[in-house]
Structure 1
């Protein structure tokens, strides 16, 4: 990586990989992706549920970088009879209410309920892990922009208007890959820590009367 001093405002990051020198551009999120909401089939009709289509709720999002299996599923009929939409692999799920800003990347195509405004990147313009790595920015924007009397919610139209600084796609992919490697390493050490904590717990129970 090269460390650069800021030039021309914030269009040049202080730290970047060698080989990249072009200024970043300010774009609207909606210019780089499609923002897609979700929906819920009628819960009173059993023909809509327990099918082959994954269907996520906000409570399932936030613990993992990638998700591939939801707690509940819907049928093709349930999909047709609701506003749920099939989201492709690489979509960044974004919770838009009751805890705005939890994210995860789809490792398998799926649908969501209406508590999401999911980001479907244009593969020629936006890298999935690059935008996922900017979850804190997405969350802050959603919390500031969202509205509602009962609970705060941010709309797809509002998310589309979010301004974001982005480099060319190849630099996005380099950055995304870097942060994915870091997140994978953190997850690995977290699992090791949990195993050590369980091991210690076992020793404490067996070695003291």
Structure 2
């Protein structure tokens, strides 16, 4: 990656992959994606639950980059009888209340409850991992613009107004791929660390009287 001269920092990042020279553009998140809320079928009707459709709650989001299996599922009827919507693969789930700003990318189509304002990227304009890598910006924006007396919540309308600097799609994909590789490496090392901790615990139990 090449370092950029201070004089052109305003419209391009400090570090950049070779071959990319165009300025980044300031866009609204709603111009690059659809912001989709969720819903919950009536819990008193068993016909709505334990179906084939994954249905996520905010508490399940934040530990992994990708999610593919929810704790609870709903049926086709439950989907029809609620405001939940099917979200495609590549959607960035974004928790919009009770801990604003936890994110994960859908590896399999699913739905969510109403504690989300999920980002469905326009595939010709926005790369999933590029926007996922900017979770801290999304979180900060949600916390600042969110409102509510009982708990702070950010609306889909508000999220769609978020200003964000973006390059052309091919540069987004390059950046997204770079950060995905880093995240994958972190996860791998975290697993090794966890395993070593378990091994140490075992040795401590067995090597002292």
TM bracket (short chain): over 0.9
Alpha-carbon offset, residue 101 of structure 1: 0.1
Alpha-carbon offset, residue 168 of structure 1: 0.2
Q: Deviations over 1:126-153 (max 9, x none)?
A: 0000000000000000000000000000
Q: Deviations over 1:48-107 (max 9, x none)?
A: 000000000000000000000000000000000000000000000000000000000000
CA distance in 2, matches of 1:137, 1:35: 16
Whether 1:24 aligns to 2:29 is no
The aligned length equals 209
Report the TM-score when normalising by structure 1. 0.99
Aligned residues: CA RMSD:
0.7
Report the TM-score when normalising by structure 2. 0.99
Q: Which runs of 4+ in 1 moved over 6 A?
A: none
CA distance in 1, matches of 2:149, 2:187: 37
Whether 1:66 aligns to 2:66 is yes
CA distance in 2, matches of 1:47, 1:193: 44
Alpha-carbon offset, residue 10 of structure 1: 2.0
Alpha-carbon offset, residue 5 of structure 1: 2.2
Alpha-carbon offset, residue 202 of structure 1: 0.4
CA distance in 2, matches of 1:99, 1:79: 25
Alpha-carbon offset, residue 8 of structure 1: 4.6
CA distance in 2, matches of 1:12, 1:58: 34
User: Which blocks of at least 5 consecutive residues in structure 1 are unaligned?
Assistant: none
User: Which blocks of at least 5 consecutive residues in structure 2 are unaligned?
Assistant: none
